[in-house]
Structure 1
Amino acid sequence: MDQFTDRIAAVPWWGWAVLVLFLVALRDILQRKHTIRHNFPVIGNFRYMIETIGPELRQYIVANNREELPFNRRQRSWIYASSKKENNFQGFGTDQDIHSAGYVFIKPALLPLRLPKDHPTVADPYHCPSAKIIGQYHNRRKPYHPGSVINISGMSFGSLSASAVQALNMGAKAFGCYHNTGEGGLSNYHKNGADVVFNIGTAYFGIRDDDGNFVMDKLVRLTEQYPFIRMLELKLSQGAKPGKGGVLPAAKITQEIADIRHIPMGRDVISPAAHSAFANIPEMVAFIEAMADKTGLPVGIKSAVGKLEMWEELADYMQATGKGPDFIAIDGGEGGTGAAPPSFADHVSLPFVYGFSKVYQIFQQRGLTQHLTFIASGKLGLPDSAVMAFAMGADLVNIAREAMLSIGCIQAQICHTNRCPSGVATQNKWLQAGIDPTLKSERFQNYMKTLTKEVLDICHALGYEHPCQFTMDDVDVAMGDNNHTKPLSVTYGYDKDPVAFDGLAALLKSPHLDRKPANA
């Protein structure tokens, strides 16, 4: 035995290396699952290793600052720097191709707006409440006046980690915006003080029976128990996967998630593509009115946009009856915190600018825009994109992926695998332990402050006080044809309706505006 041990010890390191390579080569040759490994033993494994880290190589080494999607390095760097209160400026001019088709030009006034010393924005340059009170037209018992024109879009606990949801909610409270739960239900991590919009998807998570049917009594009890729930959002579809239900893999379902959603452990949970509580427009409106009546809260719908016939039917029905949603959230086809088949993520539903402009015109033609609050989402968490949305008729902007970036997301694009390296989109305890909710909530608040301030700065450059004053002639779009540009009004064929606005000082006196961020 001693002699055998001595012989083993006498084998040089390279001898062991040769043996390992021989065993790997033998394994590769004998297997029939991967042709490359069989035909090129040992070295063929490097092909799969490089493929695995390909996205990281392209992200950090190969791609230039303006090349990546969905958010390029320049955009991500601005969000990261803003969230950390670092220098987010750029020098030596723009590095973008300003003559490319679709490029956005915001047109400043010859003389910018000069704010008096007693103007509210001078004291608090980060506070910009909505110009509209949601639910007022339909006389809801509990109308809601959002304290910010920019808010958190629907992202569920389950898709996001507990630490990420907690950080966002704490940051939303500190800044003064609302936090949409996503269709995954109300978790303990949504209960850190921010206003909450409760999202109701096709699976009715948290307000369902054992068979997945909607239960009104559960919704009423939930809203009574948690008065910080300020609105209900009926999700018809979302930009990431319009017309297709979601899947929460069994691997991501913890007992906590199962209890919140009222779902079983141990198997994948599938959200149906369609609602079971209604099947047509009149039934949907009746469902909305029933929820509003029972809870007293404003109720709206969220949807991506494709065919327009049902939108026209909804507008006609609202015009005829005076009933319907209090707000409409349009999600662009470029939206996407949810995992989705590439065919849906890439090709199903219209991008925001096309979808929003078509739906807005439908309600405008029937004189309904003043009765509704329009919410826009889909890569709008950057100042220029948000300004364009406001100019097209959006009253509020919801952000999702940009919020994730502000708390540490690195755009690894593996949200659906439960292996998110930043701990934002995973239920892996080890990975999410790297998130400090207190620190990340400050990062989110800093990002929201910077985004809101830059939108307001652009307002002032154009001679306005508030984003609701933007018009479609304030923004030009490059046509890619002989370097011509056209205003949004010409490009999309309409002018947005003016929004009633008597000045920011008057807006801040609204009796429904009870959440105001602290002065900087």
Structure 2
Amino acid sequence: MWKKIQTFIESIIQWEEISLHYLWILVPLALIYIAIKDIFFNKKHTIKHNFPIIGRFRYLLESIGPELRQYIVAHNREERPFNRVERSWIYASAKKQNNYQGFGTDSDVYAQGHVFINPSLFPYVPPEGHPNTTDPYFLPSAKVMGLANGRKRPWRPYSIINISAMSYGSLSKNAVIALNRGAKMCGCWHNTGEGGLADYHCHGADVVFQFGTGYFGVRDAHGRFSMSKLVDLVQAHPFIRAIEIKLSQGAKPGKGGILPAKKVNPEIARIRGLEPYTAALSPAAHTAFRNVPELLDFVEAIAENTGLPVGIKAAVGKLEYWEELADCMMQRGTGPDFITIDGGEGGTGAAPPHFADHVSLPFIFAFTSVYQIFLERGLTERIVFVGSGKLGLPARAMMAFAMGVDIINVAREAMMAIGCIQAQKCHTNHCPVGIATQNKWLMSGLDPTDKSHRLANYMNVFRKELLELTHACGYEHPCQMTMEDIEVGMGDIKTRQTLEDAFGYKKQRVAFQGMESLKNCNYLGGLAQSYAPEAIKQTVLQK
């Protein structure tokens, strides 16, 4: 055995000696071959034709442009969507490393849009025996989903920070497993995205099941919505705590999506209710309803058949439809139990640049516009408002709660917690860290066990620091934040305005009787082991 190994090593050494001896011949030959190919056979790239060999470096530099700007060129706070300071805080929090900064801020505090959180002269100090003295991460929703509308299974989410909609198919199975396991560890929910409920969503976390215009996972043979399939799905998976109907998303509102046929392997086809290797098409509009009254009928039918809270998710554009929705809810006394407002900044979904850049309002404008509509009609107490759109950092989250948000969903920030480096290759299937890809080699580098802990760490640190900011403002829970507690810089004129002055409304006060009342609430979910099927418990324990 050892002699064979020795012989093999000696052959390698001998080959290397021969290779080095003839290297001075091989390299010029290779360059000549490339030059001939570029000049005589290249019909597509002018630069390669006109500048053979050297021209190829242009395409190489272009392909790694985001990485060069990210690590070498850009200032700490210049990059978009997330700058280096923001990413560093997420990475350090996920790894339980030092996430502080020293020597003051390098942020331009006089810049337009800079957020100022107004602290109290006398911060809130949790008394002895307070839930947060023993659990600094305990931060449930102040509102209960489905209680106002009398749903059979109302639910108070255990965490006000949760994982936004990202489908299996868009994300790799290892990424989905890591997110779900991490969500179970920290008690947050995991939204399935519109790609259906995969086995990888079934590792013990609370799940919000989302479906969109393709009705994946709950569609009949003709691609239409099937109520019976949804009921069967909910009954078979009691950890599904709510249903979300996706009307549109911030990345590409008003446009359907497609998962190419080559990506629709037998597993994804089974989950989505499709034939293998046929394109998964999401139309631009729903077929189960066509207008606001039909949408409300649809919401009530799902709630009646499943017993679960039902909500809608949408980006925001024309406000007359939101006004019609609010008016119909007033007349009927029913409606969605929660509304997720998705900012037009875009998200994990791949989209044409003109959609991502220009279609629908960014989160701050979108949310404040919709919230005022329901506020004027006295409906805000009946609805749990969920915000989504670059809110996965404590200061932004505080501003969102001050505007009226009850719960926050994070997507890209959750991806960063499990290893995303903002390579911006989500749409290419070449994600270098194995998150937004179905490439088996790339996803094999993502260890779900390790990354699940990082997701849980990020969520816990986020909630802890959010609570610390809340206490600094003199409150016990972020739901108590008011629009006067946040000011925004107005830019060159060196003035600032409160959110109330900037947007012209005063947030409705949320009914809140202290953290102890949330801890003892009968509707509190989050600790999935208390209601997950025994088979799932064993799977979680084994893994």
Question: Could you state the TM-score of these two structures normalised by the residue count of structure 2?
Answer: 0.92
Match status 1:24 vs 2:40: no
SS in structure 2 of the partner of residue 273 of structure 1 = coil
Match of 1:283 in 2: 294
Q: 2:419 aligns with which of 408, 413, 421?
A: 408
Report whether the alignment pairs 1:470 with 2:481.
Answer: yes
Residue of structure 2 aligned with 1:13, choices 23, 35, 45: 23
Task: Give distance in 1, aligned partners of 2:281 and 2:79.
Answer: 31
- The match for 1:226 among 237, 243, 251 is 237
Kept in 2: contact 1:127–1:516 (CA 8 A): no
1:421-436 alignment runs, 5 A limit: 421-436=432-447
Q: 1:337 & 1:74 partners in 2: Cα distance? A: 20
1:311 aligns with 2:322: yes
CA distance in 2, matches of 1:494, 1:81: 37
CA contact (8 A) 1:252 1:418 kept: no
Shift, 1:252, TM fit: 2.4
Instruction: Name the SS of the counterpart of 2:44 in structure 1.
Output: coil
> CA 1:507 to 1:37, structure 2 compared with 1: closer, same or farther past 3 Å?
same
Structure 1 match to 2:157:
146
Task: Tell me, yes or no, if the aligned pair for 1:104 and 1:475 is still in contact at 8 Å.
Answer: yes
Using a 3 Å threshold, how does the CA distance of structure 1 residues 9 and 439 change in structure 2: closer, same or farther? Answer: closer
1:299 pairs with 299, 310, 329, which one?
A: 310
- Name the structure 2 match of 1:457: 468
Rounded to whole Å, the distance in 1 between the matches of 2:333 and 2:161 is 28
Pairing 1:350–2:361 present: yes
Shift of 1:27: 1.2
Give the Cα separation in 2 of the matches to 1:77 and 1:149: 23
Check whether the contact 2:266–2:277 (CA below 8 A) recurs between aligned residues. Answer: no
Indicate yes or no: 2:341 matched with 1:330: yes
Task: Give yes or no for contact 2:159–2:188 (8 Å, CA) kept in 1.
Answer: yes
Deviation readout 1:177-234 (Å, 9 max, x if unpaired): 1110000000001101111000010000001012210010000000011111010000
Structure 1 pair 376–259 and aligned structure 2 pair: CA distance change class (3 A): same
In the alignment, residue 283 of structure 1 is paired with which amino acid?
E
Once the two structures are TM-superposed, the CA of residue 18 in structure 1 deviates from its matched residue by 2.3
Taking the TM superposition and a 5 Å limit, the aligned residue runs for 1:66-85 are 66-85=77-96
Distance 1:277 1:10 in 2: 69
- Contact kept, 8 Å, 1:422 with 1:431, in 2: the verdict is yes
Aligned counterpart, 2:374: 363
Deviation sequence 1:426-468 (CA, Å, 0-9, x none): 1111111111111111100100010000000011001000010
- 1:120–1:504: 8 Å Cα contact kept in structure 2? yes
In structure 2, C-alpha distance between the alignment counterparts of 1:36 and 1:264, rounded to whole Å = 43
Shift of 1:410: 0.7
Q: Which moved more, 1:429-438 or 1:455-464?
A: 429-438
1:93, CA displacement in angstroms? 0.5
**1:240 and 2:240 matched:** no
Query: Which 10-residue stretch deviates more, 255-264 or 308-317?
Result: 255-264
State the identity as a percent.
61
Q: Distance in 1 between matches of 2:289 and 2:354?
A: 27
Contact 1:196 1:228 in 2 (8 A): yes
Deviates more, 1:212-221 or 1:263-272: 263-272
Task: Read off the aligned partner of 2:252 and give its amino acid letter.
Answer: K
Question: Partner letter of residue 393 of structure 1?
Answer: G
Residues in 1 aligned to 2:319 and 2:207: alpha-carbon distance in whole angstroms? 30
**Residues 131 and 515 in structure 2, CA contact (< 8 A), matched pair in contact too:** yes
Most deviating of 82-91 and 17-26: 17-26
Alignment match, 1:399: 410
Q: 2:204, 2:528 within 8 Å by CA — same for their partners in 1?
A: no
1:54-73 Cα offsets, whole Å, 9 max, x none, are 11111111112111111111
The answer to whether 1:274 aligns with 2:293 is no
Q: Look up the SS of the partner of 1:146 in the other structure.
A: coil
**1:296-315, CA deviations, whole angstroms, 9 ceiling, x for partnerless residues?**
00100000001101000000
CA distance in 2 between counterparts of 1:262 and 1:480 reads 52
Counterpart of 1:202 in structure 2 is: 213
Structure 2 CA distance, aligned partners of 1:62 and 1:514? 46
Residue of structure 2 equivalent to 1:45: 56
Shift of 1:251: 3.2
In structure 2, the residue corresponding to 1:320 is in which secondary structure? helix
Q: Secondary structure at the match of 1:480?
A: coil
Partner of 2:228: 217
Residue type at the aligned position of 1:19: L
Q: How far did residue 97 of structure 1 move?
A: 0.4
Describe the SS at the equivalent of 2:190. Answer: strand
Instruction: After superposition, give the CA deviation of every residue in 1:240-286 in whole Å (9 maximum; x if it has no partner).
Output: 11111111122322211110001122233220010000000010100
Distance 2:517 2:55 in 1: 69
What is the alpha-carbon distance in structure 1 between the residues aligned to residue 373 and residue 221 of structure 2?
Answer: 39
Once the 2 structures are TM-superposed, how far is the Cα of residue 10 of structure 1 from its aligned partner?
Answer: 12
The alpha carbon displacement at 1:9 in A equals 9.7
CA contact (8 A) 1:175 1:517 kept: no
**1:131-210 to 2 correspondences below 5 Å:** 131-210=142-221
**Aligned residues: CA RMSD:** 1.5
Q: Tell me which amino acid in the other structure corresponds to 2:307.
A: G
Provide the C-alpha distance between the structure 2 equivalents of 1:140 and 1:66, rounded to a whole number of angstroms: 46
AA partner of residue 507 (structure 1): L
Is 2:166 the partner of 1:121? no
CA shift digits 1:147-204 (9 cap, x unpaired): 0111111000111111111111111111011110000000001101111000010000
Q: Distance in 2 between matches of 1:257 and 1:516?
A: 28
Matched, 1:93 2:104: yes
SS state at 1:151 partner: strand
Report how many aligned residue pairs link the two structures. Answer: 511
Cross-structure match for 2:503:
492
Point out where structure 1 has 5 or more consecutive residues left out of the alignment. Answer: 1-7
Asked whether the equivalents of residues 386 and 405 of structure 2 are also in contact (C-alpha less than 8 Å), the reply is yes
Per-residue deviation, 1:11: 8.9
Counterpart amino acid of residue 24 in structure 1: I
1:221 aligned partner, one-letter code: D
**One-letter code aligned to 2:503:** Y
Contact 1:333 1:378 (8 Å CA) reproduced: yes
